[in-house]
Amino acid sequence: MKIGIDQIGFYTPNKYVDMVDLAHARKQDPNKFLIGIGQETMTIADQTQDAVSMGINSTLRYLDQIDKDKVGLLIFGTESSVDQSKSASLFVKTALNLSPQVRTFEVKEACFGLTAGLMMARDYVYSHPDKTAIVIGSDIARYGVNSGGEVTQGAGSISILVKKDPQIMELNEGHSAYSEDINDFWRPNNSKLAKVDGKYSTQVYLDFFTKTFNQYKKEQKLATKDFDALIYHLPFTKMGLKANRLAVEGEEEETTQRLQDNFEASKKWSAKVGNIYTGSLYLSLLSLLENGNLTPGARIGLFSYGSGAMAEFFSGTLVEGYQSKLNKEADQALIDQRKKLSVAEYEEIFNNSLLDPEDSITLKSDEVKGKWYFAGTKNDIRQYSVN
């Protein structure tokens, strides 16, 4: 049975800061951010955007194109959860008017959350071939103003519909997983800002990629040249570039050039949006499909990594007509229509977003019509509205 990705929805909030402006403000050479980190701009989420609202907005990108009555499972992967008990997916299910019979829950393992949900959704559809599953990855990456990780922040959401006979990409059989209990990145309950050991995290990321990629090729009897593209979780695009260099080391020129060219296509959206944690790998996929030139039947290798740490390598095959399910113009417009902030405006909005609004105060959003947002709390219950 062919099971895989039938729809992809993307959302990012409507504000950004330019890395050149940020570099000047931090008295750094702009090339340290533009080349050394590989980022151009970074989306900023204000107080009215959270994991839930972004998850709703990304799913609405394709909701009118599917049969909602067939949705039997909704999984929300995030490390930016809005409640210690209640699943973010329940807020989303209500906003989308999905059936009460939908099984729904939230999963967490740093940036691995959407991949974990995708694998569960695949197994669900295999057991229930007449049903579909929605899997969301939605996060705000925060390290703090003028912190070491400041340039690797961002905000956004990816929503995926998984079904039988998918229209974008079939998930191939087999995977390679690897995990260890380490402390390269974490966020304590008493902190809204993440803690990270950047150099160590990069080392672990590259080590886990090498382990899972080599094991996958061994188990599936494949060589690097058998992949048309390799894509990566991109906390910042230079990290994926380092992994890709390891992948093509010693390969023939044709293979090296193909994988390098497709990596460049896959990083385009991330270089503009920044780190979106659970959705990052799938933003790479969307960017590859919309900015690359792959033909149906192309094999794409995907490396998923969640600090702490969990990694998995798997692959998918593009299906005939996949291009018709994409909307590059709308995704480009979503990025282009963001408002540019000065560094001072960014700092104020960022620091304000760390504060919980006073209960019973109604928040207003400056997003365009039709976008959902967090409107504050009433009796400590989160409220969501649509413009």
Catalytic residue among 233, 290, 312, 367: 233
Q: Report DSSP state, residue 239.
A: H
3-state secondary structure of 294: coil
**Tokens 């931090």 map to which residue?**
26
Please give the domain boundaries of the chain with CATH numbers for all domains.
Answer: 3-170+326-386 (3.40.47.10), 171-323 (3.40.47.10)
**79 is an active site residue:** yes
**175 is an active site residue:** no
Taking CA atoms, 326 is separated from 135, 229, 284, 321, 371, in Å, by: 17, 18, 14, 10, 20
- State the Cα–Cα distance between residues 80 and 106, nearest whole angstrom: 11
Per-residue pLDDT tens, the chain, 387 aa: give them.
Answer: 999 999 999 999 999 999 999 999 999 999 999 999 999 999 999 999 999 999 999 999 999 999 999 999 999 999 999 999 999 999 999 999 999 999 999 999 999 999 999 999 999 999 999 999 999 999 999 999 999 899 999 999 999 999 999 999 999 999 999 999 999 888 998 898 888 887 889 999 999 999 999 999 999 999 999 999 999 999 999 999 999 999 999 999 999 999 999 999 999 999 999 999 999 999 999 999 999 999 999 999 999 999 999 999 999 999 999 999 999 999 999 999 999 999 999 999 999 999 999 999 999 999 999 999 999 999 999 999 999
Catalytic residue among 40, 79, 170, 312: 79
Strands (E), 123-272: 132-141, 154-164, 169-171, 176-179, 185-186, 195-196, 229-232
Catalytic residue among 109, 111, 170, 312: 111
Give all strands of the β-sheet with 15-18 in edge-to-edge order. Answer: 41-43, 15-18, 339-341
Q: What is the end-to-end Cα distance of the chain in Å, rounded?
A: 41
**219 is an active site residue:** no
Q: Which of 306, 276, 284, 337 is nearest to 184 (CA)?
A: 306
